[in-house]
Amino acid sequence: MREIHVDLIIQRVKSMVMDAEYNLPDDFVKAVDTAKAFEESPTGKEILETILQNAQVSSKEQVAYCQDTGYPVFFIEVGQDVHITGGNIKDAINEGVRQATKEGYLRASLAFDPVFERKNTGDNTPALIYFDIVPGDKIKIKFAAKGGGSENQSKQIMLKPADGLEGVKKFVLKTIANAGPNACPPFTVGVGIGGTFDYSAVLAKKALFRPIGERHSDPRIAMLEEELLSLANQLGVGPLGFGGTVTAIDLKIEVAPVHIASLPVAVNIQCHANRHNEIEI
Amino acid sequence: MSEIKKIATPLTDEVIKDLKAGDRVLLNGYVYTARDAAHKRMLEEYEKTGKLPFDIKGQVIYYVGPTPPKPGQVIGSAGPTTAYRMDKYTPKLLELGLKGTIGKGWRGHEVKEALKKYKAVYFAAFGGTAALLSKHIKSSEIIAYEDLGPEAIRKLYFEDFPVIVANDMYGGDVFEEGQKIYRKIEIDP
């Protein structure tokens, strides 16, 4: 049994949250830079350049890339040979978020309840945490700051098996086109196909963590990713929806086994404030 | 690309008439912030008291909830939030004299009609470029609803704050017009 103290988890979570909020991932920044050459609209090109400048400034000055510092979402894999000491892991994650919010000058963006008072929780907790138990003696923590604007344009549908691949494609492209300027393109698009109603959405969110340009290991899915990415960039949405040829930087699909009666599809839209990172303890 | 127009708040009908969808504008002067929670409360209070927390005539509302300022900063990161969420409240505010709103994304049909009726504009700022945009804000003061935290109403002073006219008083829409040019495939709505 390896012992890991909660103080270490608090410290590492706090620094990973602040790091994600100030510094966009290198692979995404490089991809936006590359995309400038493919953008036909002058305004679109200018916006991609502005996005890169914003990334430079937020990183240099250590300030939030976007004022919407997002809903803190964690995917945590806990090795079954790890023993957490000094407290419990959920509290430690939330304490890390709380400290990052205060010391990192992040916006408090969560409300306690959805339809009554909607009073702000004040410190971005409680975070949304998905746990998984895995072999080994390490803890792997993936974090995403999920902005409300792009989350609001994400969608789920329960298609019929007869709708098939064509139905999936149509739904994904329609969701991207409808998200348009509201969700701050260029997007990274996460697609979850299969599982249950809820799990398709989890898959879509998980897909967003895959490095830019890395294709699915199943060649059929890899081809579908490339086809949908190419079609997404023909929708005309363009950077920030002002029209153009760079609507999505990447599109990733995750799949899961499915009930014989069902074809769940979820599309999670990620804006250009593509803030996520991962650590291992 | 049209030439850049430098304008100052409060906005008059004369200024509004001259703005067309797609125009680049540098905004100067005072504007007020309000987003979801502040809009809801403002309009509920107006129903009861007939008053708004500030004189809205000729003014501009910026849909933003900034991050807290770091020491030495006037305001934290401060980019636009999605505008359609305020659509429910906007026609009434335009009727009461509001002349401009700043956000990102599409407006609904009713807002576009109200922009025509009351001679007003909707500006789009570059969403997500919040670290850059905050550099054009030279002062910030909470004037109402402090308990709403990031959603409190702030009075900001803009210096050459860059926006694009997204919807003008003639029915123009910069997003529709721009996307039409580059759309190679059609998706059924």
The chain B residue lying nearest A245, using CA atoms, is B182
**Under-70 pLDDT residues of chain A:** none
Q: Show residues of chain A in contact with B130, CB under 8 Å.
A: 54, 58, 64-68
Q: How far apart are CA A223 and CA B106, in angstroms?
A: 32
Q: Do A120 and B148 touch (CB under 8 A)?
A: yes
The gap between the terminal CA atoms of chain B, to the nearest Å, is 30
Q: Taking CB atoms and an 8 Å cutoff, what residues of chain A touch B104?
A: 149, 181-182, 184, 240
Q: Is B109 a catalytic residue?
A: no
Q: Summarize pLDDT for A58-87 with one digit per residue, the tens.
A: 999 999 999 999 999 999 999 999 999 999
A248-261 confidence digits (pLDDT tens): 999 999 999 999 99
Its ipTM equals: 0.95
B106·A180 Cβ contact <8 A? yes
Chain A interface disruption, residue of B75, B84, B123, B129, most A CBs within 10 A: B129
Does residue B71 sit at the A interface (CB-CB below 8 Å)?
no
**Residue B187, pLDDT score:** 82
Q: What is the Cα–Cα distance from A270 to A267, expressed in whole angstroms?
A: 10
Q: Is A152 on the interface with B (CB under 8 A)?
A: yes
Looking at residue B104, what is its pLDDT? 97
> Identity (one letter) of the amino acid at A278?
E
Low-confidence ranges of chain B (pLDDT < 70): 1-2, 189
pLDDT at B189: 63
Q: What whole-number distance in Å separates Cα of residue A152 and Cα of residue A70?
A: 12
Per-residue confidence (pLDDT) for residue B3, from 0 to 100: 84
- The strand pair at B4-8 and A248-258 is best described as unpaired
Which pLDDT does position B165 carry in this prediction?
Answer: 98
Q: How many contacts does A have with B, using Cβ atoms within 8 A? A: 170
What are chain A's domains? 2-21+65-146 (3.30.360), 149-274 (no CATH)
Instruction: Quote the CA–CA distance of B18 and A72 in Å, as a whole number.
Output: 44
One-letter amino acid identity for B30? Y
Domains and CATH numbers, chain B: 4-180 (3.20.130.10)
Asked if B127 and A245 come within 8 Å (Cβ–Cβ), the reply is no
C-beta of residue B61 within 8 angstroms of C-beta of residue B42: no
